[in-house]
Chain A
Amino acid sequence: MSILKKLLPLDIASGMKLTGKYFGRNFLQANRSKKHIHITVEYPETPISIAPRFRGRLQMLRDEQGEIKCVCCLACEKICPTQVITISKGKKEGRKTPFPTRYDFEMERCIFCEFCVESCGFDSIILNHQFELAAYNREDFSIGMEGQFQDMFRVSPVGQHSISSTKNPDSPDYT
């Protein structure tokens, strides 16, 4: 019996049976069965689903009047483990609270830990769902409040041209 076991590769055959089962199932049923059996998606044509808590790029928020919510308490600047946020305090006509004249965010060193959002007592910043953060120039990673590509309120250069970020209804950049 043991010689027969040694001669016949039954152990390998059982493995082949398993892989054959999956091959047959995918070959015959993929795209036809109503049940979703794909593991992968055809990114970027098919948008991928992002969890609501996903930590993407830092973004500043405006209130209903279009005013910047940030009041320069510098909590995010202090908590940031890699010191990527730099804020300059200033004043604006007709605004009681301090106004950030500069809010620099150096994305190349950001580690997306969300400590800044956590520390913010005014809900004035979020990490949005944007994950396509590549850029062509180094300057594009230095994001501030103004400038063509340096606008914290807009998506990054690559994100602008991406199919998936504009198609994904979960994304805040959905158009």
Chain B
Amino acid sequence: MFKNEELEINLGPQHPSTHGVLRVKLRLDGETIVKCTPIVGYLHRGVEKICENKTFFQGQVWTDRMDYVAAVSNNLGWAESVEKLFGIHVPRRAHYVRTMMTELNRISSHLLWLGTHALDIGAMTVFLYAFREREQILDCFESFCGARLTTTAFRIGGLREDIPPGFIKQVQAFQDRFLDCIDEYETLLTENRIWKRRTIGIAPINADECIAFGVTGPVLRAAGVKYDVRKAFPYAAYAEMNFEIPTRTEADTYARYLVRLEEFRQSHHIIQQCIDGLPEGNVMAKIPKVLKSEVNEIYHPIEAPKGELGYYLVGEKGGQNPYRFHVRGPSFVNLQALPQMTEGRLLADVIAAIGTLDVVLGEVDR
């Protein structure tokens, strides 16, 4: 009467644990996954093609909308890659403010990850605690550039305006209480036996497989590879900053959790150095009103909260817009490792695996 046959089910695209419109086609044998196929493209907007038809100034607003929880990082990547294409030198103060904002954004992105990942696995409380601090960071963004999510924070050549009065005080108020907040998350999760059961040994991927898939960011660092674009190819003011790259060797979900928690502390440390060493001076380089490129091509990687975010720009002679624009999105590349992490394991681990990869579907689909 009962036959042993494989069952094919869809996880998503409307599943709350897939963090957006990710559809995962799963072939199940009982509760074990035989085959896992992530299907992307439900949120495709053609950002690369749109940006090829916009000027270099206008293209920035589309980078906000790729990885919408880390919009400032995306803005930084766009601004720096266009500056690299045109050879524009940005004032030192602008570099410091950019570094500070990007690190705040890294904290806010990791906080959203921590809250939703814990919520998916079953720890409801952390979500509320994480969003409490995220709110404070978003308030900082609002006073800096006027928007909370789609920031359009920087401009090509520096910043639009200098930081508003009272901004340093606002960031310092966040800095003063954030270390205690990390301890609170640790109290709630790190030693918790339910959290440990759900994360230790779940969704492993070792260093060789990570490199083969091109996986970057905290997932790679949790596998023991000490690779961080901030150290490997320093941009903005990171060359002057003093920080560590946290690594673990376990390469499971729990190790990635610990790596990201340590990144909170390192980001906190970098922001403090930016506040203390903020140089005086202007924040905008002199740039022409119309940017006309030469025949040139650049690739500029930055360390987004999810991993290596690279922008590839090709300029044509006299062109006001990029001839070719390509994004190497960390979420998209990291998602390709999902079958490797889940095949042969249990259905419930897929949720943990999607959570620990920290994908944002706006960037996967673009």
Query: Which positions in A face B, CB cutoff 8 Å?
Result: 9, 11-12, 14-15, 18-19, 39, 50-55, 79, 81, 111-115, 118, 127
Contacts and interface: CB of A to CB of B under 8 A. Distances in A.
Chain A interface secondary structure, helix, strand, loop or mixed? loop
Contacts of A127: 146
A113 B58 CA distance: 10
Given A53-B142, A79-B57, 19 more contacts: A11-B191, A12-B193, A14-B187, A15-B125, A18-B187, A51-B139, A51-B143, A51-B146, A51-B164, A52-B143, A53-B143, A53-B164, A54-B146, A54-B147, A81-B59, A81-B61, A81-B62, A115-B152, A127-B146
B193 A11 contact: yes
B61 A9 contact: no
A147 B189 CA distance: 58
Contacts of A50: 142
Nearest to B132: A39
A11 B147 contact: no
B152 A15 contact: no
A75 to B, nearest CB: 10
Interface in B20-37: none
B145 interface: yes
Given A52-B143, A53-B145, A113 B152 contact: yes
Interface string B318-355: 00000000000000000000000000000000000000
Nearest to A129: B146
Contacts of A113: 61, 150, 152
B132, B152, B161 pick with most chain A CB within 10 angstroms? B152
Interface residues of B, number: 29
B45 interface: no
B57 A9 contact: no
Contact of B58 (A12, A18, A115): A115
Given A9-B193, A15-B192, A111 B61 contact: yes
B49 interface: no
A143 to B, nearest CB: 20
B160 interface: yes
B184 A114 contact: no
B336 to A, nearest CB: 30
B57, B59, B146 pick with most chain A CB within 10 angstroms? B146
A18 B184 contact: yes
Interface in B27-83: 54, 57-59, 61-62
